[in-house]
Structure 1
């Protein structure tokens, strides 16, 4: 059985660089040139990643289950 993984995607055109994601989950996000980017695109499940996606003021963060590509956050 393979370990579940999540894929983090950030729409750089939408991101406003608020840094809220970094405040919530600094282990998974960083600012580069004023925009957020994931420290790794594929991560082990962590509720803080979901929280960062949910609280992003412009919904620039998308979290999917890597094996099924099901959207986990933000909630639609």
Structure 2
């Protein structure tokens, strides 16, 4: 069994660009306020989800290891 990630979108900074939908189709959705949310807040580790986080223009997406909370994205400075 592979790694599991927890995915969160900070809705206070999400601008609804939809870039996450382009990078990871089916993994994110825009609500009626045009703000992103993960389709499933816990998911198998997935390069497309990571690409969505990396491609977010306002860095609203945070990915952590499910269970441990270790940060996957954004990288710690």
Task: Answer whether TM exceeds 0.5 for this pair.
Answer: yes
Residue 26 of structure 1 is matched in structure 2 by: 25
Q: Contact 2:2 / 2:45 at 8 angstroms: preserved in 1?
A: no
Q: Contact 1:10 / 1:62 at 8 angstroms: preserved in 2?
A: yes
Partners in 2 of 1:75 and 1:35 — Cα distance? 23
TM-score by length of 1: 0.91
Q: By how many angstroms is 1:3 displaced?
A: 4.7
Q: By how many angstroms is 1:5 displaced?
A: 1.0
Residue 71 of structure 1 is matched in structure 2 by: 71
Runs of 4 or more off by more than 3 Å in structure 1?
none
TM-score by length of 2: 0.90
Residue 6 of structure 1 is matched in structure 2 by: 5
Partners in 2 of 1:29 and 1:74 — Cα distance? 17
Query: 5 Å matches for 1:12-51?
Result: 12-33=11-32, 34-51=34-51
Partner SS, residue 21 of structure 1: helix
Partners in 2 of 1:11 and 1:72 — Cα distance? 16
Partners in 1 of 2:10 and 2:16 — Cα distance? 11
